Amino acid sequence: MQRCSEPKVYGAVAVGEKGQIVIPAEVRKIYGIKSGDRMIVFSRPGGPIALIPADKFSHFLEEATAVLAKMKRREIK
Protein backbone atom coordinates (compact mmCIF):
# COMPACT_ATOMS: atom_id res chain seq x y z
CA MET A 1 0.00 0.00 0.00
CA GLN A 2 1.36 3.34 -1.06
CA ARG A 3 0.80 6.56 0.89
CA CYS A 4 -0.20 9.85 -0.70
CA SER A 5 2.12 12.68 0.33
CA GLU A 6 -0.55 15.36 0.06
CA PRO A 7 -4.30 15.49 -0.56
CA LYS A 8 -5.42 14.99 -4.13
CA VAL A 9 -8.85 15.08 -5.76
CA TYR A 10 -9.52 11.91 -7.76
CA GLY A 11 -12.92 12.92 -9.13
CA ALA A 12 -16.54 12.76 -8.05
CA VAL A 13 -18.60 9.66 -7.37
CA ALA A 14 -22.36 9.16 -7.26
CA VAL A 15 -24.20 7.36 -4.48
CA GLY A 16 -26.35 4.55 -5.88
CA GLU A 17 -29.85 3.52 -4.78
CA LYS A 18 -28.41 1.16 -2.14
CA GLY A 19 -26.00 3.80 -0.81
CA GLN A 20 -23.03 2.34 -2.70
CA ILE A 21 -20.18 4.32 -4.23
CA VAL A 22 -17.43 3.26 -6.62
CA ILE A 23 -13.91 4.07 -5.41
CA PRO A 24 -11.97 5.44 -8.41
CA ALA A 25 -9.64 2.90 -10.06
CA GLU A 26 -6.53 5.02 -9.41
CA VAL A 27 -7.28 5.11 -5.67
CA ARG A 28 -7.93 1.34 -5.59
CA LYS A 29 -4.61 0.77 -7.34
CA ILE A 30 -2.64 3.11 -5.04
CA TYR A 31 -4.05 1.50 -1.91
CA GLY A 32 -4.29 -2.07 -3.19
CA ILE A 33 -8.07 -2.24 -2.68
CA LYS A 34 -9.65 -5.25 -4.37
CA SER A 35 -13.21 -6.44 -4.88
CA GLY A 36 -14.49 -8.02 -1.66
CA ASP A 37 -12.10 -6.12 0.63
CA ARG A 38 -13.77 -4.94 3.81
CA MET A 39 -13.46 -1.27 4.73
CA ILE A 40 -13.93 0.55 8.04
CA VAL A 41 -15.95 3.76 7.49
CA PHE A 42 -15.74 6.56 9.99
CA SER A 43 -16.38 10.25 10.33
CA ARG A 44 -17.30 12.89 12.83
CA PRO A 45 -20.43 15.03 12.53
CA GLY A 46 -19.96 17.49 9.70
CA GLY A 47 -16.46 16.17 8.96
CA PRO A 48 -15.07 14.21 6.04
CA ILE A 49 -15.81 10.51 5.60
CA ALA A 50 -12.77 8.21 5.76
CA LEU A 51 -12.29 4.62 4.58
CA ILE A 52 -9.59 2.36 6.00
CA PRO A 53 -9.06 -1.24 4.88
CA ALA A 54 -10.24 -3.45 7.76
CA ASP A 55 -7.01 -5.46 7.72
CA LYS A 56 -5.01 -2.23 8.24
CA PHE A 57 -7.28 -0.76 10.93
CA SER A 58 -5.41 -2.16 13.93
CA HIS A 59 -2.18 -0.61 12.60
CA PHE A 60 -4.04 2.70 12.18
CA LEU A 61 -5.27 2.50 15.78
CA GLU A 62 -1.75 1.81 17.07
CA GLU A 63 -0.36 4.84 15.20
CA ALA A 64 -3.25 7.06 16.31
CA THR A 65 -2.80 5.94 19.93
CA ALA A 66 0.91 6.78 19.80
CA VAL A 67 0.21 10.25 18.37
CA LEU A 68 -2.44 10.92 21.02
CA ALA A 69 -0.06 9.79 23.78
CA LYS A 70 2.61 12.22 22.52
CA MET A 71 0.06 15.03 22.45
CA LYS A 72 -1.06 14.21 25.99
CA ARG A 73 2.54 14.19 27.27
CA ARG A 74 3.05 17.67 25.78
CA GLU A 75 -0.08 18.94 27.56
CA ILE A 76 1.18 17.64 30.93
CA LYS A 77 4.56 19.41 30.68
The distance of Cα 76 from the centroid of its chain, to the nearest Å, equals 30
Examine the pLDDT at 66 and tell me if it is beyond 70.
yes
Give the lowest-confidence range in 2-11, 43-52, 54-63: 2-11
pLDDT at 19 over 80: yes
With respect to residue 64, please indicate whether it lies within any of the assigned structural domains.
yes
Residue 7 lies in a domain: no
Note the pLDDT of residue 77.
62
Q: How far apart are CA 63 and CA 77, in angstroms?
A: 22
User: Domain residues for 58?
Assistant: 36-76
Question: Is 63 among the domain residues?
Answer: yes
- Averaged pLDDT of the chain: 88
The pLDDT score that the predictor gives to residue 75 is: 75
Domain count of the fold of the chain: 1
